[in-house]
Amino acid sequence: MTPLLDMTTTNLIAQARDGDKQAQGQLVRLWYKRIYNFAYKFLSDHDLAMEAAQKTFISVHKNLGRLQEIERFKSWIYTIAVNHCRAECRVRKNSRLQPLETACHAQSDIRAQNPEHQFQHHELADILQQSLLELSDEQREVVIMKEYEGLKFREIAEALDISENTAKSRMYYGLEALKKILEKRNITPQTVNYE
């Protein structure tokens, strides 16, 4: 966490524990986008990601008093989010994947004004989202937490209740698998060119 985000979160948690409803609402506003983005990357579905994020914050609200070390809030909230995403995956396991929405709205900071560049970016984001879904759940969790959410390996390990070495291993094998998946789709660093 950034120092400002860390300090703000710490203050809000203390106030929320004392029953301050406004602090609870601010905590949700501060963290909702990050948790939603994680869930969207994991589930590749807007509605399911919103539901997972909402369930995460309901759990946070119910269990905030049980969080013993406030400085571990980040890994704690991701643990809750991962558990809700995993539960949703178990429910969906037997159903076929639905067509994907464009993954770009969660990362829609496209600088290019050229419609062709925007189309290529959206297309590439869709391919990447589909490729992430082909990874094992364990690898996908770590790749999303590290690459998209910027968590440290220590935080990932805490969130997933694994060792740091296991987190690093899953990251390595996940990125290798993702590289192979993208190569099968003829996507390489050389083919991605927005200039």
CATH code for the domain of 170: 1.10.10.10
In a domain, 192, yes or no: no
* Averaged pLDDT, 24-36: 92
In a domain, 190, yes or no: no
Global pTM?
A: 0.68
Q: Which has the minimum average pLDDT: 19-33, 122-136, 163-177?
A: 122-136
| Tens digit of each residue's pLDDT (9 = 90 or more) over 32-42 | 999 999 999 99
User: The domain containing residue 25 runs over which residues?
Assistant: 3-184
Q: For residue 52, give the DSSP letter.
A: H
Res. 138: pLDDT tops 50: yes
In a domain, 142, yes or no: yes
Integer Rg of the chain from CA: 18
Give φ, ψ of 161 to 5 degrees.
60, 50
Greater pLDDT, 95 or 60: 60
Which pLDDT value is given to residue 6? 60
| Tens digit of each residue's pLDDT (9 = 90 or more) over 64-102 | 988 888 888 999 999 999 999 988 887 776 454 433 333
Environment class of residue 94 by beta-carbon count within 10 Å: exposed (0-12), middle (13-18) or buried (19+)?
Answer: exposed
Which pLDDT value is given to residue 76? 93
Q: What is the C-alpha separation between 78 and 146, in angstroms, rounded?
A: 12
Tell me the one-letter amino acid at 178.
L
In a domain, 170, yes or no: yes
Task: Count up the domains in the chain and report the number.
Answer: 1
